[in-house]
Chains A and B, each alone.
Chain A
């Protein structure tokens, strides 16, 4: 009955175009980057084989461990903010019996930051975080001068401030996905539960959340990958500073390759990033349930 689901030709036709384009434009360059990480190369002249030298140098590079740490912090911050706020908002707008007027307006407004370029949003937040005249500090200053904080200039808080900007900007994206997913749950499930006397909260806990697992799987991946490969935000807002406290592996790659002409070394940091991401992929797969829920 299901026999046509494993017909070889069909599978090939469905899969080939994707794999062809993907492999030639994504995988092949990654392979090249991987190979070049074992060379000393300025991107232009002949590469010189140096084995693991780049990786050894990476280990003793003062920017390396902070970059690793920052990627994790970034991923963590945006994961919590994006998934958390998006879920709350999505639930709010899909709760049975709660009809908010102007919900279309609200939903669109959440999405607006996503539409804007990272440059614009980054610049805005640089101004908001500004110590002298920024919105945030003006408000905090009302409580007293001591409450003001140079968010982006303090090496300890800079990465959190930058990460939050990204989290804030793309929350709308997660909202759209989670909201859409909730909306596509058949009404019957909810009706059955309401008949059984479930409150709105139990509804969400017992029915919505489990059914959203597949959705969460990819929204979580999006947040985490966005965090690990972060570059644009720090490039626009802090230039990697102050004192390298907002460096990431991607930024290291960019700096090495384009500012210093060290492509081999830059490739090594890129490879570390890819390995880190693979690890996370494995972890995510393990911890988020994979079975389909059948009611």
Chain B
């Protein structure tokens, strides 16, 4: 009996809630429709405008983007503030992008209700273009003469699919480096390695000190591919890009055979922690920052934080030439190859957007402002913008070192999450990860990878 009256009570409560729920969502809809009914007028004024016309109406654009960590927020906030000066009537409603392997973005594509502006990785462009969900940005880029603001490297990133630009680069190129804790090396009596043999030697000495020689996390695909890329660069400055969709390499090529062998050796000699397979980004960084690993392979965005955390003079970086054999090192250094670069992400505009014109105008400019924000707020290395941008944060010694290194770079590859073809990226990552167990035959690796490349390149 008690349960019955409890049930009726709950029933009543539920009915009341449902009604208020419905009323609530209707309210939401009506505030949104406020801006929607404005758009026909907006479009009219835009079509008559020849320069950045600021229509009188307030427009709210929805944007799906990374916006969680301190850095991400600082950068985008900076960009939005800058944009307020240029297009004051536009407000951004941010839809936070989670770490979900792009699942949500794919469902947005599938249902055709993408947010007005959204952040994409290179492999998403094909999806967007093929499903006609994206607006080509060429005209808008030209409208504001944005090409004048870009470095040559950045300009080459503008030609995407079908000769158009679909996503405006919003960040500087990232590079992968191996950060070295000099103090730990000293304590182990190890020399900062100049070539692969020295790397292995240092590793053995570090292990004796109960320190993980090379910190890396293998739960995600990109670090798996990134280190492999570094190992391949001595043989081919194009690195893993040679295995991508438009690349011409195969796993059987000598540079990749060597790279595979080197990864296997790293694993067999114990330079890679036994826990690497279950570590994620946070664990690996924490491990290095707390002095439990002597080296860490990570992106150059960590330069400022690591330099600061471990102290001036205690950190240095290694470039891919550390994977070369002693006799080849000089030649590799001269070739100046680095792991990373390329097109790491950008802002695209949805074809289903109710404010296509405004969104596109906003997006292309926001993108560059975001890249600028990355430099100003987090001291990122400028590869996108021609102009000089100074960072708010004082440059530490490590940053100076890295900047100098990066300016002498001759060729770049790409970041492990930025393949043109996501199928190749996933399957290659799968295969390369097996090498890290130290117990995988190169024959199987070669066979599997080449079968896979054959299949996807001919699809």
Contacts and interface: CB of A to CB of B under 8 A. Distances in A.
A42 B276 CA distance: 32
A44 B101 contact: no
Interface stretch (A189-197, A234-242, A273-281): A234-242
A131 interface: yes
B127 interface: yes
Interface string B132-148: 01000000000000000
B101 A242 contact: no
Given A44-B109, A132-B212, A153-B277, A242 B437 contact: yes
Q: Name the residue among B106, B276, B277 with the largest chain A CB count within 10 angstroms.
A: B277
Q: Name the residue among A237, A238, A243 with the largest chain B CB count within 10 angstroms.
A: A243
A153 B110 contact: no
Contacts of A254: 101, 103
A258 B130 contact: no
Interface stretch (A26-34, A97-105, A169-177, A259-267): A259-267
A122 to B, nearest CB: 10
A146 interface: no
Nearest to B422: A260
Contacts of B427: 260
A44 B274 contact: no
Contact of B275 (A44, A63, A130, A241): A130
Contacts of A63: 430
B277 A238 contact: yes
B433 interface: yes
A188 B276 CA distance: 58
B434 interface: yes
Given A44-B130, A132-B273, A259-B101, A237 B278 contact: yes
Interface in B235-277: 273-277
B131 interface: yes
Interface residues of B, number: 33
A132 B133 CA distance: 48
Contact of A44 (B127, B220, B434, B440): B127
Q: Name the residue among A44, A126, A238 with the largest chain B CB count within 10 angstroms.
A: A44
A150 interface: yes
Determine the interface band of chain A, counting residues with CB < 8 A from chain B. 20 to 34
Nearest to A237: B278
A261 B423 contact: yes
B127 A242 contact: no
B387 interface: no
Contact of B218 (A130, A155, A241): A241
A74 interface: no
B426 interface: yes
Nearest to A41: B110
A261 B106 contact: yes
B219 interface: yes
A44 B127 CA distance: 8
Contact of B430 (A130, A150, A244): A244
Interface of B: 100-103, 106, 109-110, 127, 130-131, 133, 212, 218-220, 273-278, 292, 422-423, 426-427, 430, 433-434, 436-437, 440, 448
A-B pairs with lowest CB-CB distance, top 8: A243-B434, A150-B274, A239-B219, A242-B277, A44-B131, A131-B274, A258-B103, A260-B423
